[in-house]
Amino acid sequence: MIFVGRGALLGRAVRSALASGHRVDLVCVPPGEPQTAAWEAAGVRVLVTEHVNAAAPILLDACSDGVGWSINNPVILRGGLLDSGVRFYNIHNGPLPAYRGIPEVAVVHAILRGEQRYAGTLHRVDAGIDTGEVLDVEEFPIADDDGFAEVMMHGLRACHTLFERNVGRVLRDDVQPSAAAIRAADRAAADGVRAGYYGRPERAALAEFADHPRFARATAFGVFTPHVADLADLADLTG
């Protein structure tokens, strides 16, 4: 397997794969990723680059089993990777297709909208942004007093659960939409849920919601404040 991404969620997936005896051929991360030395010490090959698509020949040459994971990866994978025959999968912190895009921005808007449930989603990677076939879903409730930090943390746990539950099936190429994914899709259709995208424009517009009754909850970043500094700065401007 090859991995592309960054951060703690990627690190947990790599550690889980190694602990389960799966082969990790290469991990591709941007400069400054603090886990690089630990992976190399564990015998994992690491490629550090900001130009993932340009490095496609290196990634594809390293991949021994035809499986690639895109986890917490801000780079849109392009044709050189997607047309290679390697099956790429993403685990998204948010229910799809309602909350596509930047996970932290999506969480803010889910709270603002009064969502009572949220989810991590496993899907195939295609040429769109979070538009590939949904294969599995791990849902969890949002309590009335849950703020951003609680929802984000539950989401990260859901994402890791999805990885551990599905990595073996992905490697065997026998993963199909789960019962949970089918139920979620049926419920979304019955409720008339539309696809949504939360990206840079929605992030920049955060201050417009300063008078929203759930704004304080949606911007209670807690332990995630250093990781969402841009959102935190925008929230501070409303204070």
**pLDDT in 10s for each residue of the chain, 239 residues:** 999 999 999 999 999 999 999 999 999 999 999 999 999 999 999 999 999 999 999 999 999 999 999 999 999 999 999 999 999 999 999 999 999 999 999 999 999 999 999 999 999 999 999 999 999 999 999 999 999 999 999 999 999 999 999 999 999 999 999 999 999 999 999 999 999 999 999 999 999 999 999 999 999 999 999 999 999 998 875 55
The overall pTM is greater than 0.85: yes
Percentages of the chain per state (helix, strand, coil), in multiples of 5: 45, 20, 40
What is the H or E stretch that residue 2 is in?
Answer: strand 2-5
Query: Strand, helix or coil at 45?
Result: coil
Query: Strand, helix or coil at 28?
Result: strand
| Tokens (6 digits) for 156 | 């990260």
CB 70 within 8 A of CB 89: yes
Which domains are delineated in the chain?
2-200 (3.40.50.170)
